[in-house]
Amino acid sequence: MDDLSYQSGYGNTFSSEALPGSLPATQNSPLLCPNSLYAEQISGTSFTSPRNLNLRSWLYRIKPSVTHEPFKPRVKGKSFLLSEFNQCNSSATPTQLRWKPIDIPSSPTDFIDGLFTVCGAGSSFLRHGFAIHMYTANKSMENSAFCSADGDFLVVPQKGTLDDDQIQQGLWITTECGRLQVSPGEIAVLPQGFRFSVDLPDGPSRGYVAEIFGTHFQLPDLGPIGANGLAAPRDFLAPTAWFDESHRPGYTIVQKFGGELFTAKQDFSPFNVVAWHGNYVPYKYDLSKFCPYNTVLFDHSDPSINTVLTAPTDKPGVALLDFVIFPPRWLVAEHTFRPPYYHRNCMSEFMGLIHGGYEAKADGFLPGGSSLHSCMTPHGPDTKTYEATIARGNEAGPFRIKDTMAFMFESCLIPRVCSWALESPFMDHDYYQCWIGLRSHFKREGKDGDERNDIH
């Protein structure tokens, strides 16, 4: 593909045309659109949502998206996708869970066939909840496009096939608004209803997907931080218009609807949008541009300080799902246990690792792997990390965490875990062992500081 150009900004009202003069000048839906295009609106919120929350875009296309045969259930193999979580299809467990990196399939597998649900909560039918998926793929999508009618997709690519010192293109994602190149270390958000196709220029790919029902991602409020910091709006990139006008017999639209997959045939590409304008649009973000804030004197900041995007609930400060990262940064806190502290949380935390290591897990948590610590389940640094940290003592100087990028999907809802994830050969059944070696360092001291007892 050609080098891509993007439009910069988060939440902007954009406009783009691949063919000059294709956007109507003074209205959205004239009797005859320029270049005899069809006008079509895609709405991400209800028509009557408040103006500051209202999301919609106008697409000017060669043929409207309604021009297809009826949808039919997709019968290709067993589906491992869910969007409604209950006792019949998933399990609740408070146990700390961890999975090793999943192998790339040996048989030809595209993004759709390589997508499977790990856990989630709520229901897409009730428009409240989330699902966490993973994908492995080794071939590009051919003459087909995918979309989720259930919710927004936040895609986190983790692996291409090139060496670490080479640039990995990762995924080429073609959308109705244009094309996105999304490399490992970047993310893409594909809003509910948008059709897209995933190509793999580097070969096999693996990654994570968070899907949210009934709301959309937005930038978190900054509070006392002030006007700047964390993810800057200008670093989010939306595509520019690009279109495919070729005849495509047998083109397949695969739609995720209520967690099930349906297909419809048409004879043209859905990426026939010559021009568009609006604020409902796919976008990408480079995680290396995140500006972290951190402790500058003592104690360890809560992980919420690293929130890139949030999907809020009606309750202030409580997220349906936060996307949090743990990027390279300096640790300078004095007289402080610097790794994440041991804790139990009313939120549930699903973690993944894009590259490098994670500061709280010296062993076992690998790039492409994942872990789940559910509501009020205790977790924290493993034995090796704890012992190494306290051995440095209070004289440890500033230390830079580098060559790493971990992330967390955090939700106020309690996730249920899919049976295939619990039965996966990649489940790390020895995960609990990483804490078993933690021993008592308790010392009873008198008022003068003399040691009176040492219990192990």
> Which of 177-211 are b and which e, b meaning 16 or more Cβ less than 10 Å from the residue's Cβ?
bbbbbbebbbbbbbbbbbbbbbbbebebbbbbbbb
Rg (CA), the chain: 24
- The pLDDT confidence band at residue 444, using thresholds 50, 70 and 90, is confident
Look at residues 240, 264, 242, 267 and name the one whose alpha carbon lies nearest to residue 253.
264
CB 332 within 8 A of CB 296: yes
Residue 343 labelled as part of a binding site = yes
Distance from C-alpha of 68 to C-alpha of 269, rounded to nearest angstrom:
11
What's the whole-model pTM score? 0.94
Q: What is the mean pLDDT of residues 368-374?
A: 97
Average pLDDT, the chain: 93
Q: What was the pLDDT predicted at 449?
A: 57
Q: What percent of the chain stands above pLDDT 70?
A: 95
Distance from C-alpha of 373 to C-alpha of 91, rounded to nearest angstrom:
14
Residue 358 labelled as part of a binding site = yes
- Give the pLDDT confidence of 231-273 residue by residue, as tens digits: 999 999 999 999 999 999 999 999 999 999 999 999 999 999 9
Look at residues 254, 251, 210 and name the one whose alpha carbon lies nearest to residue 79.
254
Q: Indicate if the pLDDT at residue 215 is higher than 50.
A: yes
Q: Which domains does the chain have, with CATH numbers?
A: 69-269+281-287 (2.60.120.10), 291-435 (2.60.120.10)
- The pLDDT confidence band at residue 79, using thresholds 50, 70 and 90, is confident
Least confident of 280-289, 391-400, 418-427: 391-400
Structure tokens at 4: 């891509």
Q: What was the pLDDT predicted at 456?
A: 46
- Give the pLDDT confidence of 146-196 residue by residue, as tens digits: 999 999 999 999 985 444 455 455 899 999 999 999 999 999 999 999 999
HEC per residue, 272-295 = CEEEEEECCCCEEEEHHHCECCCC
Least confident of 73-77, 81-85, 119-123: 73-77
Residue owning tokens 């090139």 = 162
Beta-ladder partners of 456 = none
Residue 245 labelled as part of a binding site = no
Distance from C-alpha of 110 to C-alpha of 158, rounded to nearest angstrom:
16
Identity of the amino acid at 198 = V
Q: Indicate if the pLDDT at residue 142 is higher than 90.
A: yes
Q: Indicate if the pLDDT at residue 455 is higher than 50.
A: no
Bridge pairing between strands 144-148 and 247-257: parallel
Q: What was the pLDDT predicted at 162?
A: 41
Least confident of 47-61, 164-178, 288-302: 164-178
Q: What was the pLDDT predicted at 396?
A: 83
Q: Indicate if the pLDDT at residue 452 is higher than 60.
A: no
> Phi/psi of residue 104, each to 5°?
-70, 135
Helix, strand, coil in percent for the chain, rounding step 5 = 5, 40, 55
More confident residue, 162 or 340: 340
Q: What is the mean pLDDT of residues 364-392?
A: 94
Count CB-CB contacts under 10 A for residue 247.
Answer: 8
Active site residues: 300
Alpha helical stretches, state H, 65-212 = none
Residue 247 labelled as part of a binding site = no
Alpha carbon distances (Å) from 172 to 3, 116, 168, 271, 272: 11, 20, 11, 14, 17
DSSP state of 79: -
Q: What was the pLDDT predicted at 446?
A: 62
- DSSP 3-state assignment of 422? helix
Q: What is the mean pLDDT of residues 11-21?
A: 97
Distance from C-alpha of 111 to C-alpha of 107, rounded to nearest angstrom:
13
Cα 261 vs. chain centroid, distance in angstroms? Answer: 21
CB 144 within 8 A of CB 112: yes
